């Protein structure tokens, strides 16, 4: 391994510039220590089954009172006995059902002196889980200071809390007047969490930690103000970006400034970059401290989806950057896969699961409801498990070990799902070789997280290309790039740059070099018209650089959606106005698939894999009430075999079907 090459890939290169080579080597070695450790127990997404681990303490249930996490009636008389049952008995049930990983309550943000009283019970669960082969991560709340408890322990807790622009306390989003939000500039608070985290993976016996709500709000406190100005003072060429050099009196921008479709205000940009950097630094520190305490411990968190730039703006987190510090990612979302014929909207997690897979981070994309599934979802229970399976996520049942009307768990639900889980697991065991094969993703969509955060146009441009590829079954993946980092994966046949207006000089140069070496490329809209900071060039330099190349299609008119494109908690994504043009462009640059697909509805998703010289074509039906009849795969010179569709019941006869295309 070329250590300096590895070093170049990290932000520490900036810090290392200008230092002696031996110092550089030391820095490089410390960077390597931060890379995902090989000794961490590897997650096998084909055999891992995530489930609910009762991650809330009784105090949280009592304080909230209403029905909440896990379907628990918070004020009920039975919470304590249910938790008592859960700590001892639930792991046996998990084992019986083949469910083998979860996160469990440990620290909710109420003060460790208070919460550690519950630790003997928590330890009882951890021990019972391990005795039944169930791995456990310690739940640590990142975004809350429960001041009612915590002030007794930390008298200066107010200094740890975030303030709005008027100096008022900031509260947990979505309500919770008893939950202050911590200020992520407060080192004292971070240092408070570190020994708690270390305890979890030493005496606590946990296999790792899971920071929940790993994001923050935009704090306007004096400390953030001071630190932000210190950051601004170090920026080169301030006058060129901000109009003047002296930024000593700049104020943190108001939250409303984050709502602009195109963020061109340099101060707002810099504020976002700085906040994102703070979060990355905090998790890099957590990583160092965790691995020092227990090199095998898993570092994980639950944050926003990697394709939710509004969330990344508003909650101070750049997810693809954050992922670099993690062993496992939890991305809770409302996207239970389905298809709405009335709106012609497909809802699913293909985007995020593909991105996490591309980044090499195993992911639990929790898509179910907190406490229960609707009867409609229950009919298609296997659908999200199958979607996880084919896209590399961890199949998850988060609602099976939750109480029934008058019992610790709903026996009827368990008995209904038990044979389905068994059928699912048998299927995975049978098809393991195919499911382990490399994804076939010859078409790469350029995804620059920074561009999608700063530019709604870039976000939508990428989104419409994703949607067209999904609906037209184009085997696509991602070319994920930072303004100073772009490496084209070796399996790339075509790069699609879909109205990506924000490209750095470096990105353009790399892409142009690739095209000049014969790489096929489709560019639409006004891609490259601005730099990575959304600053406009007089003429589009990218277009001029690519002019005359026969292997490049440039189309001025960008693709667009018919209506809504919203990728927040629940995706709302309308159909594209025109799917044909991009497909025609792929033909124009000479891209052909080694098989021909016929009669595949747009709501059926294809996940293709290369198996030796052949292909495994996995079709997932987002509208399982409709059978998948008439699908045909034609591949002259190759054998094509199809499995019988894998379904659940008469209501969902065909959730999944596999076609195997043999070698030539």
- Alpha-carbon distance of 167 to 219, in angstroms, equals 9
Ranges within 217-246 binding Zn ion (CB under 5 A): 219, 221, 224
Nearest distance from C-beta of residue 314 to Zn ion, angstroms = 16
Q: For Zn ion, which is the closer residue by CB, 271 or 622?
A: 271
Nearest distance from C-beta of residue 226 to Zn ion, angstroms = 9
Under the criterion CB under 5 A, does residue 282 sit at the interface with Zn ion?
A: no
> How many residues form the binding site for Zn ion (CB under 5 A)?
5
Ranges within 413-442 binding Zn ion (CB under 5 A): none
Q: Which of 566, 542, 577 is nearest to 556 (CA)?
A: 542
Q: For Zn ion, which is the closer residue by CB, 190 or 617?
A: 190
Nearest distance from C-beta of residue 149 to Zn ion, angstroms = 22
Q: For Zn ion, which is the closer residue by CB, 109 or 395?
A: 109
Ranges within 171-210 binding Zn ion (CB under 5 A): 183, 185
Nearest distance from C-beta of residue 246 to Zn ion, angstroms = 23
Where are the extended beta strands (E) located within 142-291?
A: 208-212
DSSP state letter for 151: T
Question: In this chain, which stretch among 8-16, 215-223, 339-347, 502-510 interacts with Zn ion, using CB under 5 A?
Answer: 215-223
Q: For Zn ion, which is the closer residue by CB, 200 or 219?
A: 219
Nearest distance from C-beta of residue 98 to Zn ion, angstroms = 45
Question: In this chain, which stretch among 54-62, 216-224, 449-457, 505-513 interacts with Zn ion, using CB under 5 A?
Answer: 216-224
Q: For Zn ion, which is the closer residue by CB, 169 or 359?
A: 169
DSSP state letter for 460: H
- Alpha-carbon distance of 466 to 81, in angstroms, equals 48
Burial 378-415 (b: 16+ CB within 10 A, else e): ebbbbbbbbbbbbbbbbbbbbbbbbbeeeebbbeebbe
Nearest distance from C-beta of residue 161 to Zn ion, angstroms = 8
The β-bridge partners of 48 are: none
Burial 14-38 (b: 16+ CB within 10 A, else e): eebeeeeeeebeebbeebeeeebbe
Q: For Zn ion, which is the closer residue by CB, 104 or 184?
A: 184
Q: Which of 53, 50, 209 is nearest to 139 (CA)?
A: 209
Nearest distance from C-beta of residue 159 to Zn ion, angstroms = 10
DSSP state letter for 300: E
Burial 482-492 (b: 16+ CB within 10 A, else e): bbebbebeeeb
- Alpha-carbon distance of 552 to 104, in angstroms, equals 52
Nearest distance from C-beta of residue 185 to Zn ion, angstroms = 5
Q: For Zn ion, which is the closer residue by CB, 219 or 474?
A: 219
- Alpha-carbon distance of 351 to 331, in angstroms, equals 12
Over the window 385 to 414, marking each residue x when it contacts Zn ion by CB under 5 A and - when it does not, the resulting string is ------------------------------
Q: For Zn ion, which is the closer residue by CB, 227 or 588?
A: 227
Over the window 39 to 78, marking each residue x when it contacts Zn ion by CB under 5 A and - when it does not, the resulting string is ----------------------------------------
- Alpha-carbon distance of 545 to 158, in angstroms, equals 55
Residues that bind Zn ion (CB under 5 A): 183, 185, 219, 221, 224
């Amino acid at each position: 391994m070329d250590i300096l090459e590895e070093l170049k890939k990290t932000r520490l290169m900036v810090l290392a510039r200008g230092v002696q080579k031996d110092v550089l080597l030391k820095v490089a070695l410390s960077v390597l220590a931060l890379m995902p450790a090989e000794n961490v127990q590897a997650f096998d997404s084909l055999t891992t089954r995530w489930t609910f681990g009762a991650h809330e303490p009784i105090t949280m249930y009592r304080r909230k009172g209403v029905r909440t996490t896990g379907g628990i009636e918070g004020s009920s008389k039975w919470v304590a006995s249910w938790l008592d049952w859960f700590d001892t008995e639930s792991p046996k049930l998990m084992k019986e059902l083949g469910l083998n990983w979860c996160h469990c309550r440990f620290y909710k943000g109420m003060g460790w002196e208070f919460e550690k009283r519950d630790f003997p019970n928590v330890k009882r669960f951890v021990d019972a889980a391990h005795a039944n082969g169930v791995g456990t991560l310690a739940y640590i709340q990142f975004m809350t200071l429960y001041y009612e408890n915590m002030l007794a322990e930390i008298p200066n807790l107010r200094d740890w809390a975030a303030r709005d622009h008027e100096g008022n306390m900031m509260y947990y989003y979505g309500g919770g007047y008893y939950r202050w939000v911590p200020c992520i500039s407060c080192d004292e608070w971070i240092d408070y969490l570190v020994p708690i985290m270390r305890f979890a993976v030493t005496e606590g016996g946990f296999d790792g930690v899971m920071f929940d709500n790993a994001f923050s709000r935009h704090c306007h406190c004096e400390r953030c103000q001071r630190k932000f100005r210190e950051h601004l003072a170090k920026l080169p060429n301030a006058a060129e970006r901000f109009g003047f050099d002296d930024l000593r009196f700049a104020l943190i921008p108001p939250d409303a400034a984050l709502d602009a479709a195109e963020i061109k205000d340099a101060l707002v940009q810099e504020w976002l970059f700085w906040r994102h950097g703070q979060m990355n630094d905090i998790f890099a520190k957590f990583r160092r401290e965790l691995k020092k305490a227990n090199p095998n411990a898993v570092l994980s968190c639950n944050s926003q989806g990697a394709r939710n730039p509004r969330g990344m703006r508003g909650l101070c987190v750049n997810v693809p950057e954050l992922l670099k510090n993690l062993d496992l990612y939890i991305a809770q979302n409302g996207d239970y896969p389905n298809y709405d014929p009335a709106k012609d909207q497909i809802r699913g997690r293909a985007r995020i699961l593909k991105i996490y897979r591309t980044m090499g981070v195993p992911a639990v994309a929790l898509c179910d409801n907190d406490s229960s599934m609707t009867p409609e979802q229950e009919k298609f229970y296997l659908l999200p498990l199958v979607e996880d399976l084919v896209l590399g996520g961890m199949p998850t049942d988060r609602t099976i070990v939750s109480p029934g009307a008058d019992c610790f768990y709903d026996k009827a639900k368990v008995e209904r799902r038990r044979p389905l889980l068994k059928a699912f697991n048998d299927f995975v065991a049978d098809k393991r070789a195919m499911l382990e094969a490399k994804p076939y993703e010859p078409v790469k969509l350029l995804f620059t997280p920074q561009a999608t955060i700063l530019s709604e146009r870039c976000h939508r441009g990428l989104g419409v290309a994703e949607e067209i590829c999904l609906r037209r079954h184009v085997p696509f993946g991602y070319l994920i790039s930072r303004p100073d980092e772009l490496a084209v994966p070796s399996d790339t046949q075509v790069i699609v740059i879909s109205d990506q207006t924000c490209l750095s000089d470096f990105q353009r140069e790399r892409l142009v070099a690739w095209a000049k070496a014969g790489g096929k490329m489709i560019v639409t809209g006004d891609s490259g018209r601005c730099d990575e900071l959304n600053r406009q060039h007089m003429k589009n330099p990218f277009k001029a650089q690519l002019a005359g190349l026969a292997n490049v299609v440039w189309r001025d008119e960008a693709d667009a959606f018919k209506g809504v494109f919203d990728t927040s908690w629940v995706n709302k994504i309308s159909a594209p106005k025109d799917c044909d043009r991009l497909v025609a462009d792929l033909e124009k640059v000479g891209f052909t698939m080694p098989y021909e697909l016929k009669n595949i509805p747009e709501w059926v998703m294809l996940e293709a894999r290369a198996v030796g010289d052949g292909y495994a074509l996995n079709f997932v039906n987002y509208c399982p009430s409709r059978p998948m009849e008439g699908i045909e795969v034609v591949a002259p010179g190759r054998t094509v075999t199809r499995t019988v569709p894998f379904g659940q019941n008469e209501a969902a006869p065909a959730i999944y079907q596999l076609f195997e295309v043999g070698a030539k």
